[in-house]
Structure 1
């Protein structure tokens, strides 16, 4: 009787895979025609999730025969499912009669916050990792992606000459290292004789895991480790921990086992976002439904958190009360506030009011009291156009502590925190807007963005704002300390009229204040030294007992357009209450005319990027920016010292001449791979790839890069964690996030 087995070419397929096949594989060519009966079992349902024949006829003369199968792409919000195919035949001896296949949901898009990341399938299933804080709608606030369940990792890296080996031995009660209750010891050392065995004379150290009277500590057998982000040259590792459930083994979970799918009920949504502690979705009924912490009114639920009890989730998630007969056209989430454009074209914002980010002329939070909801929730006054017609928002962007909108006359207005000049109003003092009366409405001036191009999309992040124009060009402003403004110049901020460094001093009236400013070189850049003293005896020099100070200011690089201005105040001048003093300011001469001037408008150049294709989406991190274009070009710039820009170099890109995004190193996502969506917001960036994989890079502050091995490490700066050895961390070495 011929011998055969059932085999799948792959153990997993995606729900949109379409036609696949299993195979009946014989040891030798089949000598006579046979019929194979096919049965299936598993949580994937036949004729709903997949199609399979009842039987397959095999014609003699071949060793391998296909069993045609079809993966059915339905719209059910399903988890990972699998089925087992079993073959029987009276004329065939099956050495392996069954084979299993997993059907994985199809990732469609990503959502990111300052602390977490979510993947959304084409059927609206949501799975998130990183910092939760009730933003993941799982019924708890537990962080996801920071440990191995009961286990932690212990590793040692190879050096340039020898591999590092490990041995794990059990310690009995009374042993030297764990005298009271025994335990385990992991010894390590270099394999200096290269025999693959760690001998006693090669041991250079060890780690003990000692039991207690009530706790049993376990350690796995050592294994070789190929995680270049930790050890550029390779190494050895074990997992260790406490046997919490007393089953005699360490239950080291994968990320997929830790992730719980968000409980969002039967709602179909067109958009989903997460903030620091809350999330919202725009349903097909044009309702906005939010969950998470209602601290400061984030979810507009009268101060009551939604989702600390699972019963509050799913179909129980309420729609935000925004007013009678009003639905939502679009929305955006910041760290602690949310803004929505409504069906009557009004704009409403709620949550934390710090810095005036809600645009209500005060800093009071809205949404944490029931009497602030519905018709009582105020709209944002955006003023009138030149003809006196009320301006409305057509696009809104909620940043960390500021908000911006593209208005119906194609202008852009921003309000909220301006400490890093994300409002783009060329205010050198960085005053907040929207936190006091007479700052909104017609008092709020539109940002001058120049005469070339009409704004079509807007993005707000931690300390930056970016606008995409109808000519496929891009402008960004705000914090530029890491070059994230994209202007390839040393300029701490863009949007402050070039005045990046300011210092003022007022004396005590006992004598004139004498000050001098000299240029110098510091920290590989241009700097200034300010010397000042109170000349009590008015002799022009510092004498014993007189107040004297020096102050240094450094730029990040040399820049021929840096200028400095000093204003001195004599005794009895109005400034400094007549006590004498000075104001000093230095920064960038944008127009190269020897004076400070506007950094916005036509003075703010379009960013030179790697493509002329339209922008698809843009992500603003803490100090890096990534832009994804419709031709799949991914262009990142700014801070890569923590890996956020993903340049595989420990550099700041964009803070020096020539460092345009156009010239930035490529973001390598792997051989022949490209991004179809990106997300992030903090130290991390993530990309959904064309093969449905998700990869993340940057610093894993809360597990948001999705690798248990790399929690609390930086990935994407081109250095391993152990010895800061240069290593390729991106590309094919960048791990895929295990979501299912």
Structure 2
């Protein structure tokens, strides 16, 4: 609210009363006038309670709402009790500047009175300042750990920090697991958080982040060169993904990144892609089968492997033994491991170059590409081996391994091409509509709906479907609200599935996770699995 303007000082109001007294004697009568002046003070000023809200680590400058019944006397503001969780500067005219203590979120208060020119003091009023907690803007669930990007461009990770003897996925400079979020540190000063993070991807034992300057940092397991820094040495803190043409400089022009199971891929702003790490099944898309590459290599055009595949619109949000990309024309290409048909090209042959995801026209013609793809997601490891795509019409298609119903087509038969619609559980002759995006776990799949709820299907051994049961489902089931498991969890802005878990970011910047929790990857300060969403602890 605006500060009330101070009134112009006015003379002290008075009233004059004249009375006449009469004195009578036996001979005379005398009248003597008497004048009495009375000072009439205005009503005492009234101080009003007030509220303000500010963001995490953000100062606020404002003015107190005050009242004065007379509307004439100027007011002086007096501090009674100071703020306890920040620095307050309160001026006598009622304006103030409040700076919350670094890292504080919650409620802070101070009290004040106002005094007018007649030395009349008001009641004591309270100003309540709410400092919003630091909120997350994106989330990524990995195999045994989860990470989120904060609104201040720092990151938090939680869960396993030890992947088969390789350490550092949490990026906090330690080897210890954590069941609550910890800060990803700045390698130049490990007492502070790494800033400038735009997006993040959690892999198996590796995590990678795109920076606001379009370079990338990775940390954790590096046995196969998946950190992209030209070495195979694990790192407990972020290291720079290097330019293969000059490994003393950072690879630039990175738009998005996907950390998988031993391999990593990045989409560049020029709509080409680079991958690095493990490559024994061709998952780097470089046209070669090699043990590994510890620096980025180019995903090639299958028609001319001396050239980069161009026209890539987005790259799979998950991946590892195979990766996929959506093209500018709404079709898709996949490459790498294909034992279960997860490349979607009606074969089970691995491919070291991108192949087109196909949609059969009839039972014998598989030459037409699946089109209208909005986003695509690939299983992180070779134990799951399925792929799903969200289409622009709000439906989805899945293909590959289906032993637990992870294709969502009301069966457990695998599909080697993009023939399988994700079905509506209310009518399994129809495709489920209203899908905004899709994400795959090892043997389950989840979708964000346009109404900001979520559906999951497939394996539910650890509760990764989030529906309050541990029963597998070959059709989508609703992720429930833990406060009322008869209703859907609402307010979801994005969703990410890991190995046997999933996490949802809510519109208020908080997060919920469910499923496998062996290493604390649900972030709720326990290591107990949950078949309903649990709240990720304070971001810290």
TM-score normalised per structure 2? 0.69
Cα distance, 1:409 vs structure 2:
5.5
Q: Answer whether contact 2:85 2:104 (CA < 8 A) is retained.
A: no
CA contact (8 A) 2:135 2:508 kept: no
Alpha-carbon spacing, 1:699–1:53, altered in 2? closer, same or farther (3 Å): same
Partner of 1:142: 176
Deviation at 1:624, TM superposition (A): 1.6
Q: Structure 1, residues 27-54: CA drift from partner, whole Å, max 9, x if none?
A: xxxxxx99541664566455xxxxx754
Name the CA distance, whole Å, in 1 between partners of 2:148 and 2:111.
Answer: 36
Deviation at 1:8, TM superposition (A): 10
Does 2:268 match 1:342?
yes
1:646-665 equivalences in 2 (<5 Å): 646-654=466-474, 660-661=475-476, 664-665=477-478
Residue equivalent to 1:352 = 278
For residues 163-183 of structure 1, give each alpha carbon's deviation from its aligned partner in whole angstroms, at most 9, with x where no partner exists.
xxxxxxxxxxxxxxxxxxxxx
Instruction: Deviation per CA, 1:544-591: give whole Å up to 9, x if none.
Output: xxxxxxxxxxxxxxxxxxxxxxxxxxxxxxxxxxxxxxxxxxxxxxxx
Q: What residue number does 1:641 align with?
A: 461
Distance change (3 Å), C-alpha of 1:13 and 1:483? same
Note the C-alpha offset of 1:632: 1.0
Say whether the 8 Å CA contact 2:273–2:309 is kept in structure 1.
Answer: no
Q: Pick one of 215, 225, 228 that aligns with 1:287.
A: 215
What is the match of residue 684 of structure 1?
501
The number of residue pairs the alignment matches comes to 443
In structure 1, the residue corresponding to 2:359 is in which secondary structure?
coil
Alignment match of 1:37 (pick from 79, 82, 95): 79
Q: 1:413 aligns with which of 310, 333, 336?
A: 333
Specify whether residues 636 and 69 from structure 1 end up closer, same or farther in structure 2 by C-alpha distance, changes over 3 A only.
farther
Q: Using the alignment, how far apart are the partners of 1:737 and 1:284 within structure 2?
A: 26
**CA contact 1:466–1:474 (8 Å) conserved in 2:** yes
Deviation at residue 351 of structure 1 after TM alignment: 0.7
Q: Residue 446 of structure 1 aligns with which residue?
A: 356
Structure in which a larger fraction of residues adopt strand: 2
Ranges in structure 1 where 5+ consecutive residues have no aligned partner: 1-5, 25-32, 47-51, 58-67, 146-254, 368-372, 435-439, 496-599, 655-659, 717-728
Listed as ranges, the matches of 1:77-88 within 5 Å are 79-80=103-104, 85-87=109-111
User: Relative to 1, partners in 2 of residues 1:677 and 1:605: Cα closer, same or farther, differing over 3 Å?
Assistant: closer
The residue aligned with 1:381 is: 300
Corresponding residue number in structure 1 for 2:394 = 472
Shift in alpha-carbon separation, 1:14–1:362, aligned structure 2, 3 A = same
- SS of alignment partner, residue 146 of structure 2: strand
Aligned with residue 321 of structure 2, among 396, 401, 411: 401
Q: How many angstroms apart in 2 are the aligned matches of 1:399 and 1:268?
A: 25
Instruction: Give the secondary structure class of the aligned counterpart of 1:404.
Output: strand
- For the pair 1:361 / 2:280, whether they are aligned, the reply is no
Which protein has the bigger helix share? 1
The 3 A distance-change label for structure 1 pair 421 and 128 is same
CA distance in 1, matches of 2:535, 2:309: 51
**Residues 273-672 of structure 1: pairs in structure 2 closer than 5 A:** 273-303=201-231, 305=233, 307-308=235-236, 313=238, 317-323=239-245, 327-359=253-285, 360-367=287-294, 373=295, 378-384=297-303, 392-397=311-316, 398-407=318-327, 410-427=330-347, 430-434=348-352, 440=353, 445-450=355-360, 453-462=371-380, 463-491=385-413, 493-495=414-416, 600-601=417-418, 603-605=419-421, 607-608=423-424, 612-613=433-434, 615=436, 617-654=437-474, 660-661=475-476, 664-668=477-481, 670=483
Q: What is the Cα deviation at residue 352 of structure 1?
A: 1.4
- Structure 1 residues 488-543: Cα deviation after superposition (integer angstroms, max 9, x where no partner): 1131x221xxxxxxxxxxxxxxxxxxxxxxxxxxxxxxxxxxxxxxxxxxxxxxxx
- Say if 1:12 and 1:454 are closer, same or farther in 2 by CA, change over 3 A: closer
What SS class does the counterpart of residue 242 from structure 2 fall into? Answer: coil
RMSD, aligned CA? 4.3
Q: Please say if 1:737 is aligned against 2:530.
A: no
1:263 aligned onto 2:207: no
How much does 1:281 deviate?
Answer: 2.0
Q: Distance in 2 between matches of 1:738 and 1:22?
A: 31
1:366 is paired with a residue of what secondary structure? strand
Alignment check: 8 A CA contact 1:673 1:690 kept: no
Distance 1:392 1:109, change over 3 A: closer
1:463-512 CA-to-partner distances (Å, cap 9, x unmatched) read 22111223222111122111110111131x221xxxxxxxxxxxxxxxxx
Structure number with larger C-alpha Rg? 2
CA distance in 2, matches of 1:106, 1:686: 15
**What secondary structure is seen at the aligned counterpart in 1 of 2:421?**
coil
Residue 270 of structure 1 aligns to a residue whose secondary structure is strand
Structure-2 separation of matches of 1:673 and 1:70: 37
Contact between 1:392 and 1:408, CA under 8 Å: does it hold in 2? yes
**Counterparts in 2 of 1:14 and 1:604: CA distance versus 1, 3 Å:** same
